[in-house]
Amino acid sequence: LLREDGTPQLAAPGSPGPSADEVARERRAVDTSRMVITPRESKIVQSVCFGVWLFIFIFGFVEHMNDLQKGCDPGDPKVGSLAVSDPQERALMCEECSTKNDRDCDLCAPGYYNFGTQCFKYLENLPPLTTGA
């Protein structure tokens, strides 16, 4: 076998082998040649992935809050075929109102659907979604 400079890698019997420094240099060269991406490329990939994640996180929250109905009052209508007209039932739909602003329902009573920050008894009463895009 030959080295990069053309000198033989394997010495003749009885002659000294490669020095420890040469062996370490060769191992570093082999390790470097086995790398899939360089540390610089790794940082670039990590930065791009973090940027995509941040974009999705921020604008996903903006999208979620666009035209979202809020309130501790039930979202079902008071009159109609799928109405919840009983005042006592309407009062018990939201089990836990938000302590931050008293406008959002944090926890609906069992049997009710939480749509964002408001409770509904029937899925048919959920309002249509709009997007911010």
* Residue 30 tokens, joined: 């082999």
Q: Do residues 9 and 18 make contact, with C-beta atoms less than 8 angstroms apart?
A: yes
Q: Residue 13 — very low, low, confident or very high, per pLDDT cuts 50/70/90?
A: low
| 78 closest CA partner among 89, 92, 67, 94 | 89
Mode of pairing for the β-strands spanning 94-97 and 118-120 = unpaired
Region 26-32 average pLDDT:
83
pLDDT of residue 48: 98
The identity of residue 113, as a single letter, is Y
Region 73-96 average pLDDT:
74
- Each residue's pLDDT tens digit, 50-71: 999 999 999 887 776 666 667 7
- Each residue's pLDDT tens digit, 85-111: 777 777 778 888 877 776 778 888 888
Q: How far apart are CA 74 and CA 108, in angstroms?
A: 9
- Each residue's pLDDT tens digit, 38-52: 889 999 999 999 999
- Tell me the residue ranges of DSSP E strands in the chain: 94-97, 105-108, 113-115, 118-120
